C-alpha cells in the first residue's frame, strides 16, 4: 500500500457534471450502469488519461460517447480503470459493472444487512459499486434508478426527491430518485428492502414543509419516537443557532443492524446503526437516549457542514467532522445541562484522545499523510478537531464565531474546501489576529501548559507565569508555540468571583469589559509564546485562581494551585466545569500517589479532606444531581495510566479500587440516602431532571455494592428486581457484577433470559461481562465467542465483546499475555471478514509503548509477529 501525502494534492484533470446510475438489484449479482457527463478541469491537461477507482467490481462494458472502448483504449488493474486517450470534453462515459452485495462482508460499498440492501460509501466505498473518480473534490448531480423484486424489496430509497416509480415485468418494480444538489460520491446512498416508516413533518423557518421518515423493520417502529423527536429538535436548533434551514422536501433516516460506525450523513438519506435510532425506556439507557440525540443531531448538521460545504481531500476530514462534533456538542448542551455535557466531552478526550496523541498513532488534526484513510476516523480528527473549533469560539466570542460561520457558508456553499478556508473565514469575518493558531491543525501532541501564580499584597497585583511546551510526537520532534486561549477567573475568600478590571499581557495594560461595557469575572488570555506573563491589577485580596475555565483549550494543565485551594474551588467555583475539575485534580494526585506507594510496597492511606470534599458535594442540595454524579466519580483507569511515565495497570486498578471502597465506607450513609431518595416512581422520561436523579442513584449504588456487604448487595439486588427502565436495570446489574460469585452468575443469566430476543440489549450484556475486572476474565470472554448472542459478522457484537474486553486494563494487559493473545487471534479472524472492524480493534495495541518492557515485548510479539 502506498502512503499518500497532503503536500502532493493535485486537482483532478476531469470533473463529472451529471451522473445517472441504474441499479438492477439481484440475489446472484447486481448490475450497476452509470452514465456520466465528463468535463475537463479548466486548468487540467487536455486529453490526459482518466483514472477511475474500482475495487472488487467486474467490468461488463465501457463506452465513450456511445461507442465501446476498444481493448487497447483502456487498462484495468485490481484498483483502477484507466481510459488512456479520452476524447475532447465534454463527453459521455458509460460503465456497466457487476457486483455481489450478498457476499460483501466488509460493509463498505453496497451490501446486505438482514436481507435488505444498503450502502456505506465514506470514505472510499463508492469504488466498490462502480468505477469512479472516488474523491471528494469531484462533485456531481446524481440521479439514481433502482430496480428490484417488488415483494422482497418493496421500499427503494436513494438521495434527493422521488420523481418516478412503477411496476415492471416479472414481479419487479423501480424507483427514480433525483438529487438536485451536487455532491461527492461518498454521500451517495441506496437502500432497498422490507421496511416500515414513522412519518412526521417539520415546518422550516421560511414556512416550507419537510416530510420526515424514519425507516426500520415494522416491529421496531415503536422504538423510533425518540429519534424523531431528536431530528425535529436538531432541525429547529440549526435554524435558531446557526440560521441553517433544511434544503429539500424530504429527509429519510434508515436504521440497519450491521454497520461499521455509528451513522452516515448521506444527502437526505442518513443511514444509521440501529443502536443509534432504536430506544424504549425498557431497552435503552439514558446514555443511549443521549447518544441518539447527539448522533441524529450530528448527521443532520452535516447537511450544511459536510454536504453543502464538503472537504477538498480526506486530509481535511476534521473540517467537517471537528466542526460537526462541535455543533452536536453545543446542541446537546442546549438540550440538557451544559456543564455536564462539557465534563463528559472532556473525560472522553482525556480517556481516548490524550493517550492517542502521546502514543505511536499520534497525528495532527489535519494529518500530513495516510496509508489507509479508514484508520483516520480518529478521536484526534473528531474530538480534538471539535476542541479546535471550540477555541475559535472562545477567542472570537459566540457572536464572532457565528459571523465566521456565516462567511464560511457565504464563500464556500457547494464547494470542496480546506481547513485553511475555514480559518480564513473566521479570521476575515472578525478581522481577528489568529497568529499561530493555525498550528493546531498541523502539530500533533497535547500541549503542556504550566502556570505559576503569585500575589503581591502591597501592589494588589496577581501574576501568572505561563509556559507552553508541546512534547515530541511520532514524526514531529520539535514544535512551535501556538495560540492557546486561557479562560481564567479569580475567587475571593468568600468564594465569590472577583471583578477583573485590567490585565497586563506582557505588551500592554488592557482594561477588561464585556461587549456591553460591563465588568467581567472571567477573561480569556491569549497565551501565544513559549513563555508569557500576565499581571492582573486591582486585586484587593489574595485570590484563588480558577484556571482554564470550561477547559478552554485541550491541554494538560500543570499548576501550583495547592490542594487546599483545589478543595476551595470544589466547594465554590462559579465555573461548574472547574468545580468538577478541582475534585478530579485532587483525585488524580491521590490515586497516583497510592500507585507509587503500592509500587514501593507501602501501606495505602486515603486523604480525609478529599473524602470530606466529596461528602459536601454529595450532600449539597443546591447542586444539579447529574453534576454531583460526575463530581463523585473518580478519574478512569485509562486516564490515570495516561498520566504515568510507564503505565502500571495492576497498580492503577488496585489503587483506584482502594479509593472507591474507602469512599464507599466513609460515605455509606450518604450513599444509602442518595439511593433511597432518588428512586424513580414514575413513568420514564428523557429529561434532565429525571436523568440526573437516575445518574446520582446509580453512581451511589455502584459505590455501595463495591463494599460487597450483604446489606448493600441486597440493596443492589432489590434495585435490579424493581427496575422499570434499562438505565436502572443495567446499573444495578453492573453494581452486582463487580463482585465474583454465584449471585453475579445468577443475575447475569436472568438478564439474558429476559432479553435474549433483543440484540441491542444482549450487546450490553456482552459488554458488561467483557469489561469486567474479575481476574482471568479472558476465559469467560473466549467462551462468549461461542454464545448465540455473539456474531463475528456484526460489528456491534464485536465492539461489545472484543472492544469491551480491551477496555479492562487488568485483563487486557494481563502479565501472562493471554489478553494480548486473545486480541491478536481475533484481529486475524476479523481481518478476513471486515478489515475496518479489525483495524478498529487492533488500535488497542497502539498504546503499548507506554507499558513496561515485559508487556511491550508481549504486545509487539503478538501484534507484529503474526
261 binds ligand B3K, rule: CB under 6 A: yes
Q: Rule CB under 6 A: choose which of 94, 265, 286, 288 binds ligand B3K.
A: 265
Which of these segments, 256-264, 331-339, 429-437, 820-828, binds ligand B3K (CB under 6 A)? 256-264
Residue 238 interacting with ligand B3K (CB under 6 A):
no
132 or 627: CB nearest ligand B3K: 132
**Interacting span for ligand B3K (CB under 6 A) from 91-99, 138-146, 262-270, 623-631:** 262-270
Which residue is nearest to ligand B3K, using beta carbons? 122
Taking CB within 5 to 8 Å according to partner kind, which of ligand B3K, Zn ion, none is near residue 148? none
Residue 335 Cβ, how far from Zn ion at the closest point, in Å? 18
Interface residues with Zn ion (CB under 5 A) are 321, 324
| Partner touching 594 among ligand B3K, Zn ion, none, CB below 5 to 8 Å by kind | none
Question: Which of 122, 124, 265, 299 is flagged as catalytic?
Answer: 299
The binder of 261, among ligand B3K, Zn ion, none, by C-beta within 5 to 8 A per type, is ligand B3K
The β-bridge partners of 523 are 488
Q: In the structure grid, which three cell numbers stand for residue 375, read together? A: 484508520
Q: How far apart are CA 428 and CA 423, in angstroms?
A: 9
Helices 688-706 and 726-737 cross at an angle (nearest 10°) of 10
CA atoms within 13 A on the CB side of 622: 5
How many Å is the Cα radius of gyration of the chain?
A: 28
Nearer to ligand B3K, 298 or 693 (CB): 298
Is 711 among the residues known to form the active site? no
Q: Which is nearer to ligand B3K, 296 or 539 (CB)?
A: 296
Interatomic CA distance for residues 66 and 642, integer angstroms = 61
**Which residue in this structure is represented by grid cell 464547494?**
415
In which region does residue 309 sit, left (phi positive, over 0), alpha (psi from -120 to 50) or beta (all else)?
Answer: beta
Q: Work out how close the CB of 382 gets to Zn ion at its nearest, in angstroms, rounded to a whole number.
A: 7
Strands 484-491 and 544-547: antiparallel
Interface with ligand B3K (CB under 6 A), residue from 182, 244, 267, 298: 298
- Does residue 736 belong to the site contacting ligand B3K (CB under 6 A)? no
SS3 label, residue 101: helix
Q: Indicate which of ligand B3K, Zn ion, none lies near residue 123 (CB less than 5 to 8 Å, by partner kind).
A: ligand B3K
Residue from 123, 195, 278, 296 binding ligand B3K (CB under 6 A)? 123
Q: Could you tell me the smallest distance in angstroms from the CB atom of residue 294 to Zn ion?
A: 11
Residue 280's CB is within 10 A of a number of other CB atoms, namely 18
- To ligand B3K, the closest distance from the beta carbon of 234 in angstroms equals 13
Cβ-contact 305, 323 below 8 angstroms: yes
Evaluate whether 38 touches 89 at the Cβ level (below 8 Å): yes
By CB under 6 A, tell whether 299 contacts ligand B3K: yes
CB of 302 or CB of 363, closer to Zn ion: 302
At residue 416's C-alpha, the angle toward residues 415 and 419, to 5°, is 120
Grid coordinates representing 484 are 492557546
Site string for ligand B3K, 621-660 (x = CB under 6 A): ----------------------------------------
Distance of CA 690 to the CA centre of its chain: 25
> What is the Cα–Cα distance from 740 to 766, expressed in whole angstroms?
16
Name the binder of 264 from ligand B3K, Zn ion, none, CB < 5-8 A by kind: ligand B3K
Of 594, 708, 709, nearest to 659 by C-alpha is 594
The span from the CA of 359 to the CA of 850, in Å, is: 7
Largest separation between any pair of C-alpha atoms in the chain: 94
Least distance in Å: CB of 382 to ligand B3K? 7
Q: How far is the CB of 306 from Zn ion (least distance, A)?
A: 7
Q: Please, what is the minimum distance in Å from the beta carbon of residue 121 to ligand B3K?
A: 9
- Looking at the Cβ atoms of 135 and 298, the one nearer to ligand B3K is 298
CA distance 36 to 185: 12
| H or E element at residue 197 | strand 196-203
What DSSP element (H or E) covers 525?
Answer: strand 523-527
Stretch that binds ligand B3K, among 4-12, 261-269, 486-494, 791-799 (CB under 6 A): 261-269
Of 179, 321, 421, 528, which one interacts with ligand B3K (CB under 6 A)?
321
* Total length of the chain: 866
CA-nearest of 596, 542, 585 to 563 is 585
Does 122 participate in binding ligand B3K (rule CB under 6 A)? yes
Phi first, then psi, for residue 135 (nearest 5°) are -150, 145
Helix (H, G, I), strand (E, B) or coil at 195: coil
Closer Cβ to Zn ion, 273 or 324, answer by number: 324
Are 466 and 531 in contact by the 8 Å Cβ rule? The answer is: yes
DSSP 533: E
CB of 324 to Zn ion, least distance (A): 5
Q: Which does 449 bind (CB under 5 to 8 A by kind): Zn ion, ligand B3K, none?
A: none
Q: How far is the CB of 288 from ligand B3K (least distance, A)?
A: 18
Looking at the Cβ atoms of 321 and 421, the one nearer to Zn ion is: 321
Q: Which residues ranging from 369 to 388 are in contact with ligand B3K (CB under 6 A)?
A: 374, 377
Q: Which one, 492 or 835, has the nearer CB to ligand B3K?
A: 835
Virtual torsion, Cα 456, 457, 458, 464, nearest 10 deg: 20
Q: By C-beta, is 266 or 532 nearer to ligand B3K?
A: 266
Q: Which residues are catalytic?
A: 299
Chain contacts with ligand B3K (rule: CB under 6 A): 122-123, 261, 263-265, 298-299, 302, 321, 374, 377
Amino acid at each position: 500500500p502506498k502512503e499518500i501525502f497532503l503536500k502532493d494534492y493535485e486537482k483532478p484533470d476531469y470533473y463529472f457534471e451529471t451522473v445517472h446510475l441504474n441499479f438492477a438489484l439481484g440475489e446472484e449479482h447486481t448490475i450497476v450502469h452509470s452514465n456520466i457527463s465528463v468535463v475537463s478541469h479548466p486548468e487540467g491537461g487536455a486529453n490526459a488519461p482518466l483514472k477511475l477507482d474500482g475495487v472488487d467490481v467486474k467490468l461488463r462494458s465501457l463506452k465513450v460517447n456511445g461507442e465501446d472502448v476498444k481493448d487497447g483504449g483502456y487498462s484495468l488493474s485490481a484498483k483502477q480503470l484507466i481510459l488512456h486517450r479520452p476524447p475532447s470534453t465534454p463527453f459521455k462515459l458509460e460503465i456497466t459493472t457487476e457486483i455481489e452485495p450478498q457476499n460483501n462482508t466488509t460493509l463498505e460499498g453496497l451490501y446486505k444487512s438482514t436481507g435488505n440492501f444498503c450502502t456505506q460509501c465514506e470514505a472510499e466505498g463508492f469504488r466498490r459499486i462502480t468505477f469512479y473518480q472516488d474523491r471528494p473534490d469531484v462533485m456531481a448531480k446524481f440521479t439514481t434508478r433502482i430496480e428490484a423484486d417488488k415483494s422482497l424489496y418493496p421500499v427503494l430509497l436513494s438521495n434527493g426527491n422521488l420523481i418516478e416509480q412503477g411496476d415492471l415485468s416479472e414481479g419487479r418494480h423501480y424507483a427514480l430518485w433525483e438529487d438536485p444538489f451536487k455532491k461527492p460520491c461518498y454521500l451517495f446512498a441506496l437502500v432497498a428492502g422490507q421496511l416500515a416508516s414513522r412519518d412526521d413533518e417539520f415546518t422550516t423557518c421560511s414556512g416550507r414543509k419537510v416530510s420526515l421518515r424514519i425507516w426500520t423493520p415494522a416491529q421496531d417502529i415503536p422504538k423510533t419516537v425518540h429519534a424523531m423527536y431528536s431530528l425535529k429538535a436538531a432541525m429547529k436548533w440549526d435554524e435558531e443557532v446557526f440560521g441553517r434551514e433544511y434544503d429539500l422536501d424530504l429527509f429519510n433516516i434508515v436504521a440497519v443492524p450491521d454497520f461499521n460506525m455509528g451513522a452516515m450523513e448521506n444527502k437526505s438519506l442518513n443511514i444509521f446503526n440501529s443502536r443509534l435510532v432504536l430506544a424504549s425506556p425498557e431497552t435503552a439507557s439514558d446514555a443511549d437516549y443521549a447518544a441518539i440525540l447527539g448522533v441524529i443531531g450530528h448527521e443532520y448538521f452535516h447537511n450544511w457542514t459536510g454536504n453543502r460545504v464538503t472537504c477538498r481531500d480526506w486530509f481535511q476530514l476534521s473540517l467537517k467532522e471537528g466542526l460537526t462534533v462541535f455543533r452536536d456538542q453545543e446542541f446537546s448542551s442546549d438540550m440538557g445541562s451544559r456543564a455536564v455535557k462539557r465534563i463528559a466531552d472532556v473525560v472522553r478526550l482525556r480517556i481516548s484522545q490524550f493517550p492517542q496523541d502521546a502514543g505511536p498513532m499520534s497525528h495532527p488534526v489535519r494529518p500530513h499523510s495516510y496509508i489507509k484513510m479508514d484508520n483516520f476516523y480518529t478521536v484526534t480528527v473528531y474530538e480534538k478537531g471539535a476542541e479546535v473549533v471550540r477555541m475559535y469560539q472562545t477567542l472570537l466570542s459566540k457572536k464572532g464565531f457565528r459571523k465566521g460561520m456565516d462567511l464560511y457558508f457565504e464563500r464556500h456553499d457547494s464547494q470542496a474546501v480546506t481547513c485553511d478556508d475555514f480559518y480564513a473565514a473566521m479570521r476575515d469575518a472578525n478581522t481577528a489576529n489568529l497568529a499561530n493558531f493555525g498550528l493546531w491543525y498541523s502539530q500533533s501532541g497535547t500541549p503542556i501548559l504550566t502556570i505559576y501564580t503569585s500575589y503581591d499584597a502591597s501592589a494588589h497585583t496577581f501574576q501568572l507565569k505561563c509556559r507552553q511546551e508541546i512534547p515530541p510526537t511520532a514524526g514531529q520532534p520539535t514544535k512551535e508555540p501556538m495560540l492557546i486561549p486561557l479562560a481564567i477567573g479569580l475567587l475571593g475568600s468568600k468564594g465569590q468571583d472577583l471583578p477583573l478590571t485590567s490585565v497586563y499581557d506582557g505588551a500592554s495594560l488592557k482594561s477588561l469589559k464585556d461587549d456591553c461595557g460591563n465588568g467581567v469575572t472571567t477573561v480569556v488570555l491569549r497565551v501565544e509564546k513559549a513563555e508569557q506573563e500576565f499581571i492582573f491589577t486591582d486585586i484587593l485580596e489574595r485570590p484563588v485562581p480558577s484556571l482554564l475555565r470550561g477547559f478552554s483549550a485541550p491541554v494538560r494543565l500543570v499548576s501550583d494551585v495547592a490542594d487546599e485551594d483545589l478543595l476551595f474551588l470544589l466547594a465554590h467555583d462559579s465555573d461548574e466545569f472547574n468545580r468538577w475539575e478541582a475534585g478530579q485534580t485532587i483525585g488524580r494526585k491521590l490515586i497516583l500517589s497510592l500507585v507509587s506507594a503500592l509500587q514501593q510496597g507501602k501501606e495505602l492511606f486515603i486523604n480525609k479532606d478529599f473524602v470530606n470534599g466529596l461528602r459536601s458535594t454529595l450532600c449539597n442540595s443546591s447542586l444539579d444531581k447529574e453534576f454531583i454524579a460526575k463530581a463523585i466519580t473518580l478519574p478512569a483507569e485509562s486516564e490515570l495510566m495516561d498520566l504515568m511515565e510507564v503505565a502500571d495497570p495492576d497498580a492503577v486498578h488496585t489503587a483506584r479500587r482502594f479509593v472507591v471502597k474507602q469512599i464507599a465506607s466513609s460515605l455509606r450513609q450518604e450513599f444509602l440516602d442518595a439511593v433511597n431518595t432518588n428512586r424513580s416512581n414514575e413513568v420514564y422520561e428523557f429529561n434532565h431532571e429525571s436523568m440526573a436523579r437516575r445518574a446520582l442513584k446509580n453512581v451511589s449504588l455502584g459505590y455501595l455494592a463495591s463494599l460487597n456487604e450483604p446489606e448493600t448487595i441486597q440493596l443492589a439486588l432489590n434495585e435490579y428486581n424493581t427496575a422499570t427502565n434499562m438505565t436502572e436495570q443495567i446499573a444495578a446489574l453492573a453494581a452486582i457484577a463487580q463482585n465474583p460469585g454465584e449471585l453475579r452468575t445468577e443475575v447475569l443469566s436472568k438478564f439474558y433470559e429476559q432479553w435474549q430476543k433483543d440484540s441491542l440489549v444482549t450487546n450490553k450484556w456482552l459488554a458488561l461481562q467483557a469489561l469486567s475486572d474479575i481476574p482471568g476474565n479472558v476465559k469467560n470472554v473466549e467462551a462468549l465467542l461461542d454464545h448465540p448472542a455473539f456474531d463475528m459478522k456484526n460489528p456491534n457484537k464485536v465492539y461489545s465483546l472484543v472492544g469491551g474486553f480491551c477496555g479492562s486494563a487488568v485483563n487486557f494487559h494481563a502479565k501472562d499475555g493471554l489478553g494480548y493473545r486473545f486480541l491478536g487471534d481475533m484481529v486475524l479472524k476479523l481481518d478476513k471478514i471486515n478489515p475496518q472492524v479489525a483495524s478498529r480493534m487492533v488500535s488497542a495495541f497502539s498504546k503499548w509503548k507506554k507499558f513496561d518492557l515485559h508487556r511491550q515485548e508481549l504486545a509487539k510479539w503478538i501484534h507484529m509477529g503474526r
